[in-house]
A and B are shown apart, each in its own frame.
Chain A
Amino acid sequence: GKEKASQLHAEGSAFDPSAFAEHLLSFMGLNRLEEEDDDQDGHLNGFLPQDAWQKLAKRSEVCFKTAPSFHYMLGSFLAEPPPPRQRVE
C-alpha cells in the first residue's frame, strides 16, 4: 500500500477507462432507470438522451482546431435542361 502510494505520487494518477466512461455517461445525461441495479459487470443501466453525442461534441469543440467545410449544390452536377414535358391525357 505504502509503496503504491509513493509510486502514485511520482507517476500521478492512473487513468481508468471505466471511470472515464462513467463520467462521460453522466456528462451526456444518462437517464438511470429507477428501481434497477446495475448489472454484474458494472454496466450502468439506463439510456442516453437523443442529443447525448451532440452535447459531448459541442463541449469538446474547443479541443479541435478543425476548419469548417464549404458545402454547395450549384456546380456539383452537370447542368441539363429538363426533358420536354410529357402530357398524359
Chain B
Amino acid sequence: SSQVQRARENFSSVQIDRKVAEVVQFILVKDQKKIPVRRADIVKHVMKEYKVIYSEVMNRVRRTFEQVFGLKLEEIDTKNHIYILINKLEAGETVSMCPGNPKSGLLFVILSIIFMKGGVAKENLVWNTLKKLRVDSGEKHDEFSDVKKLVTDEFVRQKYLEYVKIPHTEPVEFEFRWGLRADIELSKLKLLEFVAELHDQDPQSWTQQFREASASESRT
C-alpha cells in the first residue's frame, strides 16, 4: 500500500540491511537455547520503529536463513505467530567432530514412546521406562541433573513436548504428547526405522505407526 511505500522511504537501504542483520542475530540468540521466537518479541526488542515494514524485513530475514545458513524459519503457530529455525540440509552422515548432546538422546526416547503409543503417553509410563534406563525423575542425574525439570519444563518451553493434565483424574495425572517443534523437526519415518532397528524388526511390522510415519513424510 502507499502507506507502506511512504514508510519505506523513511529508511535508507543501509538502515534496512542493518535491521535485517539484527533480526537474524536476535533469532540466532533465541535459538541458542531452542526457545521459539514470538513475533511480538521481534517487534518489541528489535524491529521497533521499523515495524511498519515488518514483512519486508522478515522476507529478507527468511531469505538470509535459507541462502546463507541453509536453515528455514518456520511459523509453528500461525495464530500467535511463533517461529522456530529448522535445518534444510539432509541430516545424513556428518563429519563426527562434536559428540552427541545427551539431552537429545533422552528426548529421542520420550518422543519414541509417545509416537509408538499412538501419539500420547501417560506420565507414569514414561518415567517407568526412563527408570529402566537409570534415569529417575526423583533423583539428580549426572548428565541431566534435574530430569523432571528438563522434561516437563525445558522440553516443553522448547516445544518438543506437551505436558498436559488428564481431565477428570483424581489424583491428578499427566500425559505427554509431541510438541509443535517435534512435529516439524523430527522425521517420524526415520524415528520408526531406528526404533525398528533397535528391536531387530521390520518398521512395517508396526502397521499403524508405519502408516502414520509414511503419511507425515509425504506431507512435508
| Contacts from A to B (Cβ < 8 Å) | 10-13, 15, 17-25, 27-28, 43-44, 47-48, 51, 53-71
Contacts and interface: CB of A to CB of B under 8 A. Distances in A.
Contacts, number: 135
A67 B71 contact: yes
Given A15-B117, A17-B129, A58-B96, 18 more contacts: A11-B207, A12-B204, A12-B206, A20-B112, A20-B195, A20-B198, A21-B129, A21-B132, A21-B133, A22-B132, A54-B101, A62-B190, A63-B187, A63-B190, A65-B185, A67-B85, A68-B87, A70-B31
B42 interface: no
B199 A23 contact: yes
B44 to A, nearest CB: 20
Contacts of A19: 199
A20 B113 contact: yes
Chain B residues touching A, majority SS: helix
6 contacts: A17-B116, A47-B134, A53-B106, A54-B100, A57-B99, A58-B99
A interface, over-half SS: helix
- Smallest CB-CB A-B distances: 9 pairs: A57-B100, A12-B207, A58-B100, A53-B102, A57-B105, A56-B105, A21-B132, A60-B108, A15-B116
